[in-house]
Structure 1
């Protein structure tokens, strides 16, 4: 594995592993789904990719003094099969939306990321819930490897290359 492969997140199968058929690789990618996983892998419905793995990290709403607020965060891995080269091209997407409505303010912020990402994050917040009771607003732990590693192993185990894309077309 070269420096640029490491930088882009590209993983290659072990030498001598013959590439599986496109139907087998599709079944293998979808088989990564399991009940205990915090993410889901589905066929892409909007045409921007062939498969998408998505983890809803945070979806919280709470009440502040004279205000209501919310935070939403999700991570997504989009995958497209390149049958001719026997590789799965992948790009990571991440977005965060936060808002606050109160007297006399109204605020909204959003951020997004597209490329290759390695992240470990966690957070916890306490406050007044939507039922106006004090309690935990959100508690999360996110490790991008927990979502990406099973997919990489599934793809490379079938003799295909996991090709990270940062700037070009998926």
Structure 2
């Protein structure tokens, strides 16, 4: 891996993994959807040249409580463009600002965002007494942007394609 690849988060499949077709990869990525995951992968028609988009489900009522309880101030979206000629998926990560409005509060995603290849982790702990009488911290909530990025990236790599992070420019 070169220096620029390290900066952009680019990863290559293991040696000997034959790349599948773009349609097989698209189906595999869409197959990551499910009722138990806090993100959705969808077709990206009209979304800046992306073929697929994966993002947190901040607007869905079932998941709003999770995002409100976490006190997160940002949301995350991955825009993916499949390039069959080179068997690579060009990926842009976008972070949007989230604000809480109304009573009861609801999440609203602002129009401002940044792009990059960073990672955000949010954790909440409760302090209490342990079985031995000493203090004990119990993790009550964990939210990590890798929970969205890793399944996407692992699916791309298992399909024999390159995961190419794009920090600047277009897809």
Q: Which moved more, 1:82-91 or 1:41-50?
A: 41-50
Q: Any gaps of 5 or more consecutive residues in structure 2? A: 59-63, 103-109, 126-139
Q: Which moved more, 1:78-87 or 1:140-149?
A: 140-149
Contact 1:56–1:74 under 8 Å retained in 2: no
Q: Tell me the residue number matched to 1:46.
A: 46
Quickly say closer, same or farther: Cα 1:123–1:20, change in 2 above 3 A: same
Shift of 1:142: 2.5
- Alpha-carbon distance in structure 2 between the residues aligned to 1:2 and 1:80: 22
Query: Is the partner of 1:52 in helix, strand or coil?
Result: strand
Q: Any gaps of 5 or more consecutive residues in structure 1? A: 61-70, 102-108, 125-138
Tell me if 1:55 matches 2:53: no
Tell me if 1:158 matches 2:159: yes
- Alpha-carbon distance in structure 1 between the residues aligned to 2:91 and 2:111: 23
Shift of 1:22: 1.1
TM-score by length of 2: 0.71
Query: Is the partner of 2:18 in helix, strand or coil?
Result: coil
Contact 2:78–2:92 under 8 Å retained in 1: yes
Shift of 1:100: 6.8
Residue correspondence of structure 1 range 15-164 to structure 2 within 5 A: 15-48=15-48, 49-57=50-58, 73-98=74-99, 111-122=112-123, 141-164=142-165
Contact 2:53–2:78 under 8 Å retained in 1: yes
Q: Tell me the residue number matched to 2:131.
A: none
Quickly say closer, same or farther: Cα 1:97–1:9, change in 2 above 3 A: same
TM-score by length of 1: 0.71
Contact 1:97–1:110 under 8 Å retained in 2: no
Query: Is the partner of 2:153 in helix, strand or coil?
Result: helix
Quickly say closer, same or farther: Cα 1:50–1:140, change in 2 above 3 A: farther
Q: Deviations over 1:28-62 (max 9, x none)?
A: 111111221111111113242110111145665xx
Contact 1:98–1:110 under 8 Å retained in 2: no
